[in-house]
């Protein structure tokens, strides 16, 4: 499981380092005031970026179990971990809805 977390951490770092560059290139590609030649060059640069820098490759996972389904973003925990922590009274001020 630790190798999965390490891989996910590397993907997040790679995305973070290229995020600004991707957004700038994308906004310039769709800028109609620039010449088509410049926009073509920019789009070539955009495609040369590593595909792992895309936001769709960053996946939310539970920080304890590694589960990728039903993640609550406020805690970064899956519903099963939240349930266990609730039972053990580790998470304060959480109440069960009636």
| Burial group, residue 91, by CB count within 10 angstroms (0-12, 13-18, 19+) | middle
Q: Is the pTM of this model over 0.85?
A: no
Residues 22, 53: Cα–Cα separation, whole Å: 8
pLDDT in tens, 11-29: 788 888 888 888 899 899 9
pLDDT in tens, 27-67: 999 999 999 999 999 988 888 876 667 777 777 788 788 78
């Amino acid at each position: 499981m630790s190798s999965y977390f390490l891989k996910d951490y590397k993907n997040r770092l790679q995305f973070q380092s290229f995020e600004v560059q991707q957004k700038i290139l994308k906004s310039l590609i769709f800028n109609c005031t620039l010449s088509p030649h410049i926009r073509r060059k920019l789009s070539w640069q955009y495609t040369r970026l590593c595909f792992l820098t895309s936001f769709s490759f960053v996946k939310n996972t539970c920080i304890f179990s590694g589960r990728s389904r039903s993640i609550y973003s406020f805690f970064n925990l899956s519903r099963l971990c939240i349930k266990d922590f609730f039972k053990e009274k580790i998470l304060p001020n959480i109440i069960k809805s009636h």
